[in-house]
Chain A
Amino acid sequence: MEGLLALAAGVLYAAGIYLMLRRRLAQLIIGLGLLSNGTNLLIFSAGGLTRARPPVVPDGASALVAPYADPVPQALVLTAIVIGFGLTAFSLVLAHRVHATVGSDDVDDVGREG
């Protein structure tokens, strides 16, 4: 299973980087979105995979009963997801403003205007 997820993360990175190297503003941001997803998957899987045992203490127990999924990467990824949302929204609107101001969605035109 690690191999499959490694494949998925690798494809997400490759697609994300390829899109970030494009000239269109929209593709730049979409690439960023793919890259965030790839990174979240990377951090999550790097902590080790455990099937279907959430880090929640069962009723009656006083501590987690092994084996359980590592809560630390989960806490990291959870905030990363929400921050990624803020980042995506901000860069989308920024791209939109640049597009409206410069009148082009070609990143190379932005430099020329500046």
Chain B
Amino acid sequence: MIGFIVSPFVVAILGGWLLRRLPHRAAILAVWPAFLALLLANEMRSALSGGGRLVEVPWAPSLGLSLAFNLDALGLLFAILITGVGALVVLYASRYLEGHAQTSRFYASLFAFMGAMLGVVLSDNILTLFVFWELTGFTSYLLIGFEHERAAARTAAIQALIVTGAGGLALLAAGVLLSDVAGTTHLSAMVPARASIVASPFYAAIAGLILLAAFTKSAQFPFHFWLPNAMEAPTPVSAYLHSATMVKAGVYFIARMTPALGSTPLWTTAVTLAGAATMVVGAYRAVQETDLKRILAYSTISALGVLTMLLGVGTHAAIVAALVYLVAHAGYKGALFLVAGAIDHEAGTRDISALAGLRRMMPITAVAGGAAAISMAGVPLTLGFVGKDGAYEALLSANDWFPWLLVLIVVASILLGIAGLLAGVVPFRGDVASVKEVHEPAWPLWLPPLVLATSGVVVGIVPSVLNEPISAAATAIGGESVDVSLRAWHGVTPALPLSVLTLAAVGLGYMVHEALRNRTWTPPYGTEGVYNGVLSALDTVSRTIGPALHSASLRTYVMVIVVTSVLIGGSVLITDPALGSALPRTSIAAHDVLIVFLIIAGAVATTFARSTMAAVLSLGAVGYGVAMTFLSFGAPDLAMTQFSVETLTVLIYVLVFRHFRGLGPLSARLIRVRDGVIAAGTGLFIGSLLLSVATTDTAPGLREYFAEFGPTLGHGRNIVNVILVDFRAFDTLGEITVLATAALGVRGMLRFAADGHSHGGVRPVSSPIFRTAARLLMPLLLLFAVFLLLRGHNEPGGGFVGGLVSAAAFALYATAFGVQRARQALLVRPLTLLGTGLLLALVSGLPAVLRGQPFLTASWMPGRIALGTPVLFDLGVFLVVAGVGLMMIFSLAEES
């Protein structure tokens, strides 16, 4: 079943390929959602007889993340609407967008939306629901902005994304809180945890965030403004996303969360009031518009308000009414949108003041429009009537302040009825207004609205076919078993006079609809103004703060970072009682004093050097001093590495610094004093920090672990090397990749500058003594490098230092005989060394993967000689480091 739920994503990917083969056959894409609808209907049948079922595939169990789907009646009801309306919309779009250059982009977004929407209504895990929820918002953004060459479409797309995306973030926050409070991420498991959720101190935050998400998605007041603007989307999208499906995701979510969170005063009040306000505002604004799609957009907002309000009221009758209303609305509103699209497609305008008499040229479309309009107006024997009548009944039987809601819903229903007639009847009646030559559109443009509209009438005559699914879905929301017996005619009930009153008022209002439009008060300032105000305020803030924070001066950044760290770190350190009483643990030997003196003298000389060469040589002295420190404190590996790195670094410094002038001061004296104070403060902080840390006992654990298991698990006696190539090999793999990238960057920068011309580069040293020495030393150094590599696992050495020494050997040779001869002596290119090394390191991790162990887990061959994948890995490190060093030195020396 999961395969079917995600199958629209597959269609989204393959559809584009299919359309390139069959550019005029987009209609066949409609087959798949139609098939899915049948499949889901079958699933619904088994859900009705045997209850819903949970399907679960673990995804990331450690995060509580699983692809869990709840195939119960509530979710399936939505899923059938999504796929059923989806099939009709795809069929419609195949004609509506025919000839458009980028239809494959359209269908890709549309099918991705379909898959995401199915995910929203069927997910049983709040985290996956969030992912799908955001995906519907994102695909909606793509579809609203489909005609992205128009600025209005772009603005509307971004607005919808920001508003619904903000709601999505609220949903994520709510999901995190909720799964923490309820102890589960599964929606179905939250219902039994209801008592603890409602009693939790976070309940108000959870409910508020969930409702914020639902209200933004379902365009509830005051977040409703994005929906009319979203009409910039192609009409099939408006019909599908912004009327029949996506905007109902919020309503669905409220319904889904009601058993776990609902029926509290907070929930009931917030949902009811938001719904009622939305219902009235939307209906009122709908009759003031002349654009068909905007009329329908506002009436959709109003209908969403009705649904929300009914869910807020929350009685069984109200829930049933909401579900019937929802199904009816998907039918008639989808049909009216598609009719509006057909009119726009044929007549070239959607302005009802310019449209009239189209029934003669477009009779079938007119039938579809009329049938949808009477359902929307709530004429008896339509499903719209059943839904509206149910809502009246529900509010009549409820108590408290529900009489006020009854008044409001009657007013809204009257306005909605008028809006329905404006959209479905006005363009077709009256005399011909010669807009342009108009014909009945091709069948894909009239069949889908006709099917949607007539189904509303057919089901309206025998509404009892919906009894079972609605009952099961209402049970999922209400918690207790809800009986449903829908009838086309309820007999004389208290709701009947209200229905008659509504119909009469609709008729009356329709006659004076122009006056209603032109002579009514239009709010001068909407909530969209608030949205725009907030956005431009944010703009102003970032425009003010931005330049102040981003001075684009590296030195300012360094200064801010350093001063902040020192102040924060220093304030912590200064309160540390151990600082003053720190006692040294290691005695001072005479040679240590010399070494530290070398480091300090080198650092001071580097700082005040006036020539680049003096600075580089003092820097080298510092490096050698540090290396000697390593040597005297039990780190021969570090010392060897540091010695070879220092040698190569000095070489690279010299090769680059021959291009630079002296180092005389550029800054004013005062600035140098200020920097000196900052620097001295940093030094003081670091020194105190080190003193306090080095004299504190470190927690045992890691050291002992490696000491014990290095020889047994790692088959090596040099623990540092065992850590590098075995225990932490994945880190090392990352590090050699960084090195390789740096070397390729150096090579790229120099090649880019050289424009392919080689100018000969640095001239070799011509002294015969130096050349003879180099010729003798190079093979010895190489031999030593290999020796270091081979013994590295058991004695100081290893791939890093071996690679550095071999690079130094070739660097020496290049200094004596020129880069050209050194390249010849190397036989392969440095790039090949580097690539081979990376490949070897990667390959050494594969045997473990094949055995189902984590990547780079060591494998050892049995026998006296230790042969295993870490040896191969170390060889890879060796080659990469050698390749990196040579690539850098050769490219630098070759540059003129």
State whether the Cβ of B634 lies closer than 8 Å to any Cβ in chain A: yes
Whether B711 and A93, one on each chain, are in contact in the complex, defined by CB atoms closer than 8 angstroms, is no
Evaluate whether A4 and B753 lie within 8 angstroms (CB atoms) in the complex, with A17-B558, A69-B633, A86-B743 already known: no
Whether B666 and A74, one on each chain, are in contact in the complex, defined by CB atoms closer than 8 angstroms, is no
State whether the Cβ of B805 lies closer than 8 Å to any Cβ in chain A: no
With both chains docked as a complex, state the minimum distance between the C-beta of B675 and any C-beta of chain A, in angstroms: 4
State whether the Cβ of B688 lies closer than 8 Å to any Cβ in chain A: yes
Residues of B within 8 A of A79 (CB): 724, 731-732, 735, 800
- In the complex, which residues 11-42 of chain A have their Cβ closer than 8 Å to any Cβ of chain B? 11-15, 17-28, 30, 33-34, 37-38, 40-42
Q: Which residue of B lies closest to A21 (CB)?
A: B675
Given the complex of chains A and B, what is the CA–CA distance between A74 and B707 in angstroms? Answer: 13
With both chains docked as a complex, state the minimum distance between the C-beta of A81 and any C-beta of chain B, in angstroms: 5
Residues of B within 8 A of A37 (CB): 622-623, 626
Q: Which residue of A lies closest to B634 (CB)?
A: A69
State whether the Cβ of B416 lies closer than 8 Å to any Cβ in chain A: no
Residues of A within 8 A of B280 (CB): none
- In the complex, which residues 629-684 of chain B have their Cβ closer than 8 Å to any Cβ of chain A? 629-630, 632-638, 641-642, 645, 648-649, 652-653, 656-657, 659-661, 663, 665-667, 675-676, 678-680, 682-684
- In the complex, which residues 37-88 of chain A have their Cβ closer than 8 Å to any Cβ of chain B? 37-38, 40-42, 44-58, 62-64, 68-72, 74-75, 77-79, 81-88
| Interface 0/1 of B570-592, CB less than 8 Å to A | 00000000000010111111001
State whether the Cβ of B819 lies closer than 8 Å to any Cβ in chain A: no
Evaluate whether A56 and B604 lie within 8 angstroms (CB atoms) in the complex, with A2-B695, A81-B638 already known: no
Q: Which residue of B lies closest to A25 (CB)?
A: B660
Q: Which residue of A lies closest to B604 (CB)?
A: A15
Q: Which of B611-619, B844-852, B862-870 contacts A (4 or more CB under 8 A)?
A: B611-619
With both chains docked as a complex, state the minimum distance between the C-beta of B751 and any C-beta of chain A, in angstroms: 11
Whether A97 and B749, one on each chain, are in contact in the complex, defined by CB atoms closer than 8 angstroms, is yes
| Interface 0/1 of B700-739, CB less than 8 Å to A | 0011001110111000011110011000100110010011
Residues of B within 8 A of A95 (CB): 656
Whether B596 and A13, one on each chain, are in contact in the complex, defined by CB atoms closer than 8 angstroms, is no
Whether A99 and B676, one on each chain, are in contact in the complex, defined by CB atoms closer than 8 angstroms, is no
Q: Which residue of B lies closest to A107 (CB)?
A: B554
With both chains docked as a complex, state the minimum distance between the C-beta of B875 and any C-beta of chain A, in angstroms: 16
Whether B679 and A7, one on each chain, are in contact in the complex, defined by CB atoms closer than 8 angstroms, is no
State whether the Cβ of B693 lies closer than 8 Å to any Cβ in chain A: yes
Whether A10 and B684, one on each chain, are in contact in the complex, defined by CB atoms closer than 8 angstroms, is yes
Whether B686 and A42, one on each chain, are in contact in the complex, defined by CB atoms closer than 8 angstroms, is yes
Evaluate whether A18 and B719 lie within 8 angstroms (CB atoms) in the complex, with A24-B666, A92-B653, A111-B553 already known: no
State whether the Cβ of B189 lies closer than 8 Å to any Cβ in chain A: no
Whether B600 and A11, one on each chain, are in contact in the complex, defined by CB atoms closer than 8 angstroms, is yes
Evaluate whether A51 and B656 lie within 8 angstroms (CB atoms) in the complex, with A7-B596, A11-B599, A17-B558 already known: no
Whether A93 and B749, one on each chain, are in contact in the complex, defined by CB atoms closer than 8 angstroms, is yes
- In the complex, which residues 289-337 of chain B have their Cβ closer than 8 Å to any Cβ of chain A? none
Residues of B within 8 A of A108 (CB): 553
Whether A18 and B676, one on each chain, are in contact in the complex, defined by CB atoms closer than 8 angstroms, is yes
Evaluate whether A83 and B656 lie within 8 angstroms (CB atoms) in the complex, with A22-B667, A33-B649 already known: no
Whether B742 and A41, one on each chain, are in contact in the complex, defined by CB atoms closer than 8 angstroms, is no
Residues of A within 8 A of B629 (CB): 5, 8, 41, 44
Whether A8 and B680, one on each chain, are in contact in the complex, defined by CB atoms closer than 8 angstroms, is no
Whether A14 and B679, one on each chain, are in contact in the complex, defined by CB atoms closer than 8 angstroms, is yes
State whether the Cβ of B750 lies closer than 8 Å to any Cβ in chain A: yes
Range of interface residues on chain A?
Answer: 35 or more
Whether B687 and A4, one on each chain, are in contact in the complex, defined by CB atoms closer than 8 angstroms, is no
Residues of A within 8 A of B625 (CB): 8
Given the complex of chains A and B, what is the CA–CA distance between A70 and B892 in angstroms? Answer: 38
Residues of A within 8 A of B554 (CB): 28, 107
State whether the Cβ of A6 lies closer than 8 Å to any Cβ in chain B: yes
Whether B626 and A41, one on each chain, are in contact in the complex, defined by CB atoms closer than 8 angstroms, is yes
Residues of B within 8 A of A34 (CB): 603, 606, 619, 622
Given the complex of chains A and B, what is the CA–CA distance between A114 and B552 in angstroms? Answer: 10
Residues of A within 8 A of B173 (CB): none
With both chains docked as a complex, state the minimum distance between the C-beta of A64 and any C-beta of chain B, in angstroms: 4
With both chains docked as a complex, state the minimum distance between the C-beta of B840 and any C-beta of chain A, in angstroms: 17
Whether A6 and B688, one on each chain, are in contact in the complex, defined by CB atoms closer than 8 angstroms, is yes
Given the complex of chains A and B, what is the CA–CA distance between A63 and B708 in angstroms? Answer: 5
Given the complex of chains A and B, what is the CA–CA distance between A4 and B888 in angstroms? Answer: 36
B690 partner, pick from A2, A17, A89, beta carbons under 8 A? A2
A4 partner, pick from B588, B642, B710, beta carbons under 8 A? B588
Whether B695 and A74, one on each chain, are in contact in the complex, defined by CB atoms closer than 8 angstroms, is no
Residues of B within 8 A of A84 (CB): 645
Given the complex of chains A and B, what is the CA–CA distance between A27 and B554 in angstroms? Answer: 13
Residues of B within 8 A of A2 (CB): 582, 584-586, 690-691, 694-695
Given the complex of chains A and B, what is the CA–CA distance between A27 and B675 in angstroms? Answer: 14
Whether B634 and A18, one on each chain, are in contact in the complex, defined by CB atoms closer than 8 angstroms, is no
State whether the Cβ of B195 lies closer than 8 Å to any Cβ in chain A: no
A3 partner, pick from B562, B675, B691, B719, beta carbons under 8 A? B691
Whether A46 and B683, one on each chain, are in contact in the complex, defined by CB atoms closer than 8 angstroms, is no
Residues of B within 8 A of A56 (CB): 717-719, 794-796
- In the complex, which residues 27-69 of chain B have their Cβ closer than 8 Å to any Cβ of chain A? none
State whether the Cβ of B698 lies closer than 8 Å to any Cβ in chain A: yes
Residues of A within 8 A of B214 (CB): none
State whether the Cβ of B14 lies closer than 8 Å to any Cβ in chain A: no
Whether A8 and B596, one on each chain, are in contact in the complex, defined by CB atoms closer than 8 angstroms, is yes
With both chains docked as a complex, state the minimum distance between the C-beta of A15 and any C-beta of chain B, in angstroms: 4
Q: Which residue of B lies closest to A13 (CB)?
A: B686
Chain A residues close to B by CB (< 8 Å): 1-15, 17-28, 30, 33-34, 37-38, 40-42, 44-58, 62-64, 68-72, 74-75, 77-79, 81-90, 92-97, 99-100, 105-108, 111, 114
Chain B residues close to A by CB (< 8 Å): 552-555, 558-559, 562, 582, 584-589, 592-593, 596, 599-600, 603-604, 606-607, 612, 615-616, 619, 622-623, 625-626, 629-630, 632-638, 641-642, 645, 648-649, 652-653, 656-657, 659-661, 663, 665-667, 675-676, 678-680, 682-691, 693-695, 698, 702-703, 706-708, 710-712, 717-720, 723-724, 728, 731-732, 735, 738-739, 742-743, 745-746, 749-750, 753, 794-796, 800, 804, 881, 884-885, 888, 892
What are 15 contact pairs spanning A and B, CB under 8 A?
A2-B691, A4-B588, A6-B690, A8-B625, A10-B683, A12-B599, A13-B682, A17-B562, A41-B629, A46-B694, A48-B698, A64-B719, A74-B635, A75-B724, A79-B732
Give 5 nearest A-B pairs by CB, closest first.
A14-B683, A10-B687, A69-B634, A18-B679, A86-B742
Known A-B contacts: A17-B558, A99-B660. Give 13 more (CB < 8 A). A6-B691, A10-B690, A14-B684, A17-B562, A22-B555, A24-B666, A34-B622, A42-B689, A51-B589, A62-B712, A81-B645, A83-B735, A107-B553
